[in-house]
Amino acid sequence: MSSNFNILHFETIDSTNNYAIQNIKGLPHHTVITADVQLKGRGRFERRWVSDSAKNLYVSIIIRPDIPYTQLPLVNFAQLFSVVVAETFLSFGASPVIKWPNDVLINEKKCAGILGELSFDGSDFSGIVVGIGVNIADDPSERMEIKQPATTLALETGVFVKKDDFLTKMLHIYADRYEAFCKKGFASIREEYEKYFASIGKDVSLVSGNETVAGKVLGLSGAGELILQTASGEKNIAIGEIVWKTS
Candidates 32, 114, 189, 217; binder of ligand BTN (CB under 6 A) is 114
Question: Using only C-alpha atoms, what is the Rg of the chain?
Answer: 17
Distance CA 8, CA 204 (A): 40
How many Å from the N-terminal Cα to the C-terminal Cα in the chain?
Answer: 42
Distance CA 235, CA 228 (A): 5
DSSP conformation class of 222? T
Q: Could you write out the three-class secondary structure of 138-196?
A: CCHHHCCCCCCCECCHHHHHCCCCCHHHHHHHHHHHHHHHHHHHHHHHHHHCHHHHHHH
Q: Interface with ligand BTN includes 16 (CB under 6 A)?
A: yes
Spatial contact of 234 and 198, defined as CB atoms under 8 Å apart: no
Candidates 96, 101, 113, 140; binder of ligand BTN (CB under 6 A) is 113
Contact range with ligand BTN by CB under 6 A, out of 55-63, 139-147, 218-226, 229-237: 55-63
Q: Interface with ligand BTN includes 240 (CB under 6 A)?
A: no
| Residues 56-85, interacting with ligand BTN (CB under 6 A) | 58-60
Q: How far is the CB of 231 from ligand BTN (least distance, A)?
A: 29
Q: Interface with ligand BTN includes 140 (CB under 6 A)?
A: no
58 or 231: CB nearest ligand BTN: 58
Candidates 17, 82, 119, 135; binder of ligand BTN (CB under 6 A) is 17
Q: How far is the CB of 42 from ligand BTN (least distance, A)?
A: 4
Contact range with ligand BTN by CB under 6 A, out of 9-17, 177-185, 188-196, 209-217: 9-17
Contact range with ligand BTN by CB under 6 A, out of 111-119, 171-179, 203-211, 224-232: 111-119
Report which residue type is found at 139: D
Helix ranges (DSSP H) in the chain: 16-23, 74-91, 153-157, 163-184, 190-196
Candidates 73, 101, 116, 131; binder of ligand BTN (CB under 6 A) is 131
Binding site for ligand BTN (CB under 6 A): 15-17, 38, 41-44, 47, 49, 58-60, 103, 113-115, 131-133
